[in-house]
């Protein structure tokens, strides 16, 4: 299988006659055989980037290359090279599992059998339903069929737009196991997700918000570059604790995070534990637990979003 890189430079795209800026000068690079994640919420611009890369949408400006081919000039070559699983289920609902696979194989001038080695692990799971119409499959099965169809022509690049959205924790884990195996075959993969916990499963990630890339790096490096200290706290009344911290002038940011609250302080030189314990005591909290913790990708994302706040205002209050 050819190894393919992706190169995106200053890509911009607007909708509605320029009134909605969906993608704003986005640049990133994906190495051959890399598992690359676009991490961001709905509306961040992820799907627009995917559509431009798969040559089904033209950018307003900027360039993108897939395996050396230009997405505008060489779109025919790219379409043969790329497997694409859109966020919305886009197979033929009235065709059976087998017919969908056969259709996509034929369109790409190949057969199911010729590519069975690549899809076998996934196909085996839907094989018992091969005579069932795609529209009658469960969500998890649809997702597996869509992945099979995207792989049927041995693509060098696989683009997966939010494959795990609305999928439960168990199925999400299984899906990422499948991706790891595909990566081992040398396929370059870009996957988008709104789930921050999936970021750490990618080799490198781009954190994207409001059409802009806030950071591109390995998950480890993004976490390493988190400035200052992060604290976690809880007490008997965690919601009141959140409000008390938030109202205090020494606190920079404070937000709920699972069974804890995460907090950063305005003065990085202050002894965080002392300050936080004092505030909790002043507000009569009991069973207070406060500790310094290592940030995660979601903490980094929240921080980067707050730094982008002025820009957020600009883009949302048109």
Partner 1 sequence: MAMEEKVIVCKELTKRFGDFYAVDKISFDVSKGEIFGFLGANGAGKTTAMRILCGLSYPSSGDALVAGFSVRNQQESIKKNIGYMSQRFSLYENLSILENIEFFGGVYGVSRKEIKDRSYKLVGELGLQKEAKKMVGSLPLGWKQKLAFSVSIFHHPKIVFLDEPTGGVDPVTRRQFWDMIYDASASGITIFVTTHYMDEAEYCNRISVMVDGKMEALDTPGNLKTKYGSDSMEDVFYKLARAAKRTGD
Provide the binding-site residues for partner 1, judged by CB under 8 A: 20, 40-44, 137-141, 162, 165-171, 173, 194-197, 209, 239, 255-259, 298, 301-302, 305-306, 316-317
Smaller CB separation from partner 1, 109 or 318: 318
Do 110 and 88 form a contact (C-beta atoms < 8 A)?
A: no
Q: Where are the alpha helices (DSSP H) in the chain?
A: 46-53, 75-81, 97-107, 116-126, 139-151, 169-184, 219-224, 238-247, 272-282, 297-307, 309-316
Of 152, 145, 81, nearest to 114 by C-alpha is 152
Q: Which residues contact 122 (CB under 8 A, 6 or more apart)?
A: 144, 147, 148, 151, 178
Smaller CB separation from partner 1, 73 or 173: 173
Smaller CB separation from partner 1, 154 or 248: 248
Smaller CB separation from partner 1, 139 or 227: 139
In angstroms, give the least distance from the CB of 69 to partner 1: 31
In angstroms, give the least distance from the CB of 201 to partner 1: 14
In angstroms, give the least distance from the CB of 249 to partner 1: 20
In angstroms, give the least distance from the CB of 139 to partner 1: 5
DSSP 87: S
CB count within 10 Å of CB 181 equals 12
In angstroms, give the least distance from the CB of 14 to partner 1: 14
Smaller CB separation from partner 1, 43 or 62: 43
What b/e readout covers 281-299, taking b as 16+ CB neighbours within 10 angstroms?
A: eebebeebebeeeebbbbb
In angstroms, give the least distance from the CB of 66 to partner 1: 26
Beta bridge partners of 253: 264
For residues 26 and 210, give the distance between their C-alpha atoms in angstroms, rounded to a whole number. 11
Smaller CB separation from partner 1, 42 or 117: 42
**Cα Rg, the chain, nearest whole Å:** 23
For residues 96 and 25, give the distance between their C-alpha atoms in angstroms, rounded to a whole number. 41
In angstroms, give the least distance from the CB of 314 to partner 1: 12
Smaller CB separation from partner 1, 89 or 92: 89
In angstroms, give the least distance from the CB of 155 to partner 1: 26
Q: Say whether 78 sits in a helix, a strand or coil.
A: helix
Smaller CB separation from partner 1, 7 or 141: 141
């Amino acid at each position: 299988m050819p190894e393919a890189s992706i190169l995106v430079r200053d890509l911009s795209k607007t909708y509605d006659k320029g009134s909605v800026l969906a993608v704003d000068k986005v640049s990133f690079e994906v190495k051959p055989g890399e598992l690359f994640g676009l991490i961001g919420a709905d509306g961040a611009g992820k799907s627009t980037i995917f559509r431009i890369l798969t040559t089904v949408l033209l950018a307003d400006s900027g360039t993108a290359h897939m395996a050396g081919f230009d997405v505008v000039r060489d779109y025919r070559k790219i379409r043969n090279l790329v497997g694409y699983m859109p966020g919305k289920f886009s197979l033929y609902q009235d065709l059976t599992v087998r017919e969908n696979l056969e259709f996509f194989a034929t369109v790409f001038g190949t057969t199911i059998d010729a590519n069975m080695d690549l899809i076998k692990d996934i196909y085996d799971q839907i094989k018992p339903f091969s005579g069932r119409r795609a529209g009658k499959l469960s969500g998890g099965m649809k997702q597996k069929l869509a992945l099979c169809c995207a792989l049927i022509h041995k693509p060098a690049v696989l683009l997966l737009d939010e494959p795990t959205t609305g999928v439960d924790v168990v199925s999400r884990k299984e899906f990422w196991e499948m991706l790891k195996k595909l990566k081992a075959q040398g396929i370059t993969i870009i996957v988008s997700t709104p789930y921050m916990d999936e970021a750490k499963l990618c080799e490198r990630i781009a954190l994207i918000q409001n059409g802009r890339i806030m950071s591109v790096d390995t998950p480890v490096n993004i976490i390493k570059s988190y400035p200052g200290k992060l604290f976690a706290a809880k007490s008997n009344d965690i919601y009141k604790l959140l409000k008390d911290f938030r109202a205090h002038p020494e606190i920079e940011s404070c937000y709920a995070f699972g069974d804890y609250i995460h907090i950063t302080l305005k003065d990085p030189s202050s002894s965080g534990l002392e300050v936080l314990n004092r505030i909790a005591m002043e507000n009569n909290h009991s069973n207070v637990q406060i500790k310094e913790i290592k940030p995660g990708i979601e903490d980094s994302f929240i921080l980067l979003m707050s730094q982008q706040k002025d820009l957020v205002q600009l883009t949302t209050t048109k």
